[in-house]
Amino acid sequence: MRTIRFLLQKEFRQIFRNRSILAMVIVMPIMQLLILPLAANYEVKNINIAVIDNDHSSYSQKLITKITSSGYFKLTGYCFSFKQAYRLIETDTADLILEIPHDFERNLIRENEQKLFVAVNAINGTKANLGSVYLLNIIQDFNAEIRLQFIQPVRFNPQPVIDITSSNWYNPMLDYHVFMVPGILAVLVTMVGGFLTALNIVKEKEVGTIEQINVTPIKKYHFILGKLIPFWILGNVVFTLGLLVAWLVYGIVPVGSLFLLYGFIAVYLLAVSGFGLLISTFCESQQQAMFVMFFFIMIFILMGGLFTSIDSMPEWAKTVTKFNLVSYLIEIMRMIILKGSSFKNIVPQLGVIAVFALVFNGWAIFNYKKTS
């Protein structure tokens, strides 16, 4: 016990003397939580649209006004031929082309039918997809409006129509901040817990201090615990700071129990620090450790369900995410913070993370050899 106390004392002294670590721990979560949720936004605004109006009628004018006034589209071209409009797509000034045919108004009134042509630049997949969906919605709406003008509403709809009204639970306004912030916080906690522990032991190897430690009668698990606990505490500090930012800036208050949230984070930090420790036992230099950690963190983040939904991944990828620590944390954070899940709901994930914590730390202690 005395040994561990002194190891911790030494470790904290070193941490507090290392300005860059302190800055990382305090500034990083605040900055990233302020900037990233604003930037990482799925809502597509400012879709550039080019219109080829071959009709020049009051109806075509009405349609264009309706599109531009929706707030999602920006009219960047009003062209006379498809060729001209296509050039706008090539030069990237337009994302969408809407072509209104000749006699749009006449055919619409006389024959009750008309066709529109929409071309989409699909280089930016998300933007193209959402843009065309928005556009179709607007056109449908427009369609309904003119229908009302021409056809006297009869008591019963001549065609049966299913009208869909949806409501978004747990995030009624579909506010992206609400689910990005917990996700980003999850990534931050992982970075601090994993990177700092991995780099710390490797630094001792690089500087040679581990040599001096290895000839002492210090126990392996003493040494590992002495490294684990400080960064476990720092991880909790980062998490607390993150929760404060989420509350003060985005007004996100966990719906579920704070106690439960910290309980899960406690186990999670053990797992992720254990992972960092394990990597450090394999690496000889900070450079190596850094790159190996980056490799895993990149996969963890991209396959963690922060940016793309895990449910839409192929089967093999879903299997991979079963071993992705971050995906569990992102899921649990969203569950507890947004949905207010209780202990019973998170037991499976908690169990998995606890097993990871045991495996990683046990493996790290086993793999850390005082004799080579």
Partner 1 sequence: MEAVNVKNLVKIYGKDKTAVDDISFSVNQGEIFGLIGPDGAGKTSIFRVLTTLLLPDGGSATVDGFDVVKDYKQIRSRVGYMPGKFSLYQDLSVEENLNFFATIFNTTIAENYHLIKDIYVQLEPFKNRRAGQLSGGMKQKLALCCALIHKPVVLFLDEPTTGVDPVSRKEFWEILQQLKEQNITIVVSTPYMDEANRCDRIAMIQSGQLLSVDTPANIIKSYPEQLYAIKANNMHALLKILHEYNQVKSSYAFGEFAHISFKEPKFNPDQAVTYLETKGLQDIELIKTEVTIEDCFIKLL
Residue 26 Cβ, how far from partner 1 at the closest point, in Å? 19
Q: Evaluate whether 49 touches 96 at the Cβ level (below 8 Å).
A: yes
Return the number of the residue (207 or 258) whose C-beta is nearest partner 1: 207
Task: Report d(CA 116, CA 359) in Å as an integer.
Answer: 60
Determine if 23 is a binding residue for partner 1 (CB under 8 A): no
- In 3D space, the residue among 305, 30, 78 whose CA is nearest the CA of residue 188 turns out to be 30
Q: Reduced to 3 DSSP states, what percent helix, strand and coil does the chain have, rounded to the nearest 5?
A: 70, 5, 25
73: Cα separation from own chain's centroid: 25
Determine if 19 is a binding residue for partner 1 (CB under 8 A): no
- In 3D space, the residue among 181, 168, 186, 171 whose CA is nearest the CA of residue 330 turns out to be 186
Question: Tokens representing 113?
Answer: 């039918």
Return the number of the residue (23 or 122) whose C-beta is nearest partner 1: 23
Listed ranges 6-14, 171-179, 300-308, 334-342: which one lies at the site for partner 1 (CB under 8 A):
6-14
Residue 73 Cβ, how far from partner 1 at the closest point, in Å? 57
Using CB under 8 A as the binding rule, the residues of this chain from 196 to 235 that contact partner 1 are 207-218
Determine if 370 is a binding residue for partner 1 (CB under 8 A): yes
Determine if 257 is a binding residue for partner 1 (CB under 8 A): no
Q: Evaluate whether 94 touches 121 at the Cβ level (below 8 Å).
A: yes
Task: Report d(CA 221, CA 165) in Å as an integer.
Answer: 58
Residue where the block lists tokens 């899960």: 264
Residue 200 Cβ, how far from partner 1 at the closest point, in Å? 12
Return the number of the residue (18 or 137) whose C-beta is nearest partner 1: 18
Q: What is the largest CA-CA distance in the chain?
A: 96
Listed ranges 10-18, 98-106, 112-120, 185-193: which one lies at the site for partner 1 (CB under 8 A):
10-18
Return the number of the residue (2 or 344) whose C-beta is nearest partner 1: 2
- The residues of the shown chain that bind partner 1, judged by CB under 8 A, are 2-3, 6, 10, 13-14, 17-18, 207-218, 370-372
